Chains A and B, each alone.
Chain A
Amino acid sequence: MDHLLREKFGVYRCDGFGICRGGYHFKVSPCPMFVGSDGFESHTPRGVITIARGILEGSLAYTKEIADLVYRCTMCGNCRLLCGAEYEDGGPMIDPAGVLLAMRADLVENSLVPPPVRDFFKNVHRYGNPFGEPAEERGKWGEGLGLEEYEDHDYLFYVGCEGSYDERGKRMAVALSRLMALGGVSFGILGEKELCEGNEVRMSGETGLFQWLADRLVLRFTERGVRRIVTLSPHAYNAFRNDYPALAGGCEVVHYTQLLRDLLRAGRLRPLRELGARVTYHDPCFLGRRNEEYDAPREILRALQGADLIEMPRTREDSLCCGGGGGNFFTDMLGGGENSPSRMRVREAHGTGAQVLVVACPVCAKMFEDAAAAEGLDGALAVRDVSEVLLQCCSG
């Protein structure tokens, strides 16, 4: 339990108040791990911290049950915000997700990770992506678009694993490429030389594998002299921004919504066609809560004619996670069901009267599309990405 020992301070600072379990003004807790469960205290952030304390004090030992529990967390960061326990300088104090991360790292070291997580790591290690797809297929999504391999372009478009291999993600990657071309952005991709950036690997406690990925990617970036990266996924954005110290200073990282916003501001994209729809926007955890970018996507949506933007009750930092973070998109440790966060969220979106649920993340897009189908909302609520709706309004 070396990693947990290092997190000891966080464990003992928890005052046991349980605000992380409640949901402020909402009947339902915002914790994805809790809402989709049978509702026992063990599935709350306070509960997990209590279990961590039990491990530290020798009353409990890591077991399969504990492993199954801690891999349900999506690392959405809602608990940290609810706790409100921050240093006066604003930095986080009690970060339940940090405690969970330490527990995950211990489980990795003790080979106690659940089989789906083990398979996820195996795929990333063997193929460079969690889908277990061949590396040569990585750039195929862009065939026919006339994309260039990155050389001396202004931007490296880091497509990521979902954008490269997942059908839903690929559609987003295509839309974004078209928009960048329309806006005259000079960009290139790495194609089959691209590699998983490892955000979910890190969030799953496999720090060794994460480092292995990061070292290789950084090398590829530096060899090519990459100075600016635009990411499709907020997860990659998060990793590059916060967990790739080698990139700090020398390389600017933006999420694609920030780039598109700038193109709109500069008049390089002109959304002249009406959207004509009521839309609501879902803040992805790794863009919003973890990196505090709430406004860029909204600014884009507000620039669209005939887009009536209605906010969901839980919005911005209160946004409910789609359930796909922390590796869950690949491992599905959280499981589905009526009370899964993604299904709750599409019900909330539908409840606003919106016809389109707009997202800015390939993980959220896939999670919500599946959830909308499971809820029977196929015809009533479309799940679209910011780039897709913007492209619709920009194309002649």
Chain B
Amino acid sequence: MNRETGEHRHPLYEELAAIVGEEHVSDREIDRYAYIRTPSWVLGRVPGLVVKPADAQQVSEIMKLANRTKTPVIPRGGGASLGGFPLSDEVERSILIDLARLNRILFIDHENMVVGAECGVSLSHLSTEVGKKKLHIHTVDIPQYADSLGGVLSGFNGGGCPSDYATTGEAFHFLLGLEVVLPSGEILTTGAGSGTNIKQAQAADRTPGSPDMTGMFVGDAGVFGIKTKAYLKLYPRAASLAYGAFAFEDFEAMKAVFWKLMETDPLYYTRLVAIKPQWRDTWSLFYVIRDAEELVRFKADRLAALCTEGGGEKVTNELARKIISSFSGRQLGKSYASRGKFLYFEHPMKKGEAVDYFLRQEAFLDRRFKEAGVEGLITDRVRYLVPKERHMILVGDLVFWDVTTLSAEQVERLARISHEEAEHVLENGGFLEQHQGLETRISASYWSEAYRAFMKSIKKALDPNHILNPGLWRL
């Protein structure tokens, strides 16, 4: 039994144990305490109790109990998001719902190319299982090893960047529908489920006869409901892959090729990154192409021709791997830990304005680092441009510091620069996505009055007792 013996005994322990079974609920201090950690720089507050339901029905009963007693509820997936944690005093008596037991893959429907799964399932497990059938889902890149399906749909713009972001956009475009437990405890199915005018248990599309209410729950940080099931489109897994990089002496020349690639039809790259690590003098265009074997060859040849014509020079695959590893995959985790904390500036911008904007942001950062006297402490820096389909470019500047050499005051100064940078983005016509590192509270502080009022009215309608993730998005 995971029952607290000291003074902190949660008043709802028995009732929750009756719902989920005693071994799946704990109000022991160590069990509660462990949940305050996410990758956010801000630690969470210790929840009052942790419960691990087995299915949507149990989640619903927990929500009904929480409503009756006006107890705050915090859903939790992989705990890998940087979106923040409710921080009010109320958290002390909250119920944290750890969704890890909702980990069943419901079906992999090869014929109709749909997969259904419970939302506590880990993304890596889900993508491995569909991969065994030579199928593919669009998931996030590195954090798939930590993220849950429900967490990724709730956090970071609802699914953020799959590795083929350049051609496919955000992962939530591939979401067909959800089962959600509303704050009231009601279980609702949207889109591809049977919630609207669909008589079949399973519909095939996201908008069968209603506005796109699935989208309302995407990227909500779990303030509107708790996702318990999700239905995703499946794609054939590409049989073949090619990767490489071309180096350009001249930034403008690279930009011209980059633009041409973004405009070319049909889409012929899967991933494209213009990248300049600190240890290289030149910019490189890195690509990964995934497709059928003959198409990969065809696309790679065309890409090579365009790059060479535009003044690019092919680098060895080993060097290409080294260049990209300063920024992607598990390497990011490695660099992060070995070189210390990073400041991650990454913002989407309209394609036509992205480069000028990027150069302005870069100059701003250079100036601020210099003024703050911390520029000499940078251990590594990676600048990059990543297309987001055809219309946008993500401009990024990833700056590493060796934490061992930073004083508390310098850390403080860096945090200030991070905030000033956000202001600068807005002044420059950019916008702040809830992108790696940006708390929902920070994003929401830039909402207009009208938008805030609109969001508040939705929240109030769905969650009149204000119990689900209170305080996130400043709601």
Contacts and interface: CB of A to CB of B under 8 A. Distances in A.
B80 A85 contact: no
A60 B26 contact: no
Interface string B15-46: 00000000110101111011111111000000
B143 interface: yes
Interface residues of A, number: 45
Interface string A287-331: 000000000000000000000000000000000000000000000
Given A38-B26, A85-B337, A22 B78 contact: yes
Contacts of A24: 124, 145
A222 B393 CA distance: 68
A25 B35 contact: no
Interface in B428-469: none
Contacts, number: 126
Interface stretch (A46-54, A121-129, A149-157): A46-54
Contacts of A26: 125, 128
A59 B43 CA distance: 13
A94 to B, nearest CB: 6
Interface in B332-362: 333-334, 336-338
A47 B146 contact: no
A238 interface: no
A66 interface: yes
A39 interface: yes
A290 B324 CA distance: 29
Interface residues of B, number: 41
B52 interface: yes
Contacts of A13: 337, 403
Contact of A38 (B24, B40, B121): B24
Interface in B162-216: none
A316 B184 CA distance: 48
Contact of B52 (A39, A88, A93): A39
The SS class assigned to the A binding surface is: loop
Given A22-B124, A50-B37, A84-B333, A40 B146 contact: no
Interface string A43-79: 0101111110110000110010110010000000000
A47 to B, nearest CB: 3
B100 interface: yes
Nearest to A18: B146
B67 interface: no
Contacts of A65: 28-30
A86 B30 contact: no
Given A25-B125, A50-B36, A87 B333 contact: no
Contacts of A46: 34, 37, 79
Contacts of A245: none
A41 B334 contact: no
B50 A40 contact: yes
A42 B338 contact: no
A336 interface: no
B302 interface: no
Interface of A: 9, 12-19, 21-27, 38-42, 44, 46-51, 53-54, 59-60, 63, 65-66, 69, 82-88, 93-94
The list of the 8 closest CB pairs from A to B, nearest first, reads A85-B337, A47-B34, A25-B128, A42-B34, A41-B34, A50-B37, A18-B146, A40-B31
Interface of B: 2, 23-24, 26, 28-31, 33-40, 50, 52, 78-80, 98, 100-101, 103, 121-122, 124-125, 128, 143, 145-146, 330, 333-334, 336-338, 403-404
5 contacts: A9-B404, A39-B52, A41-B31, A83-B337, A86-B337
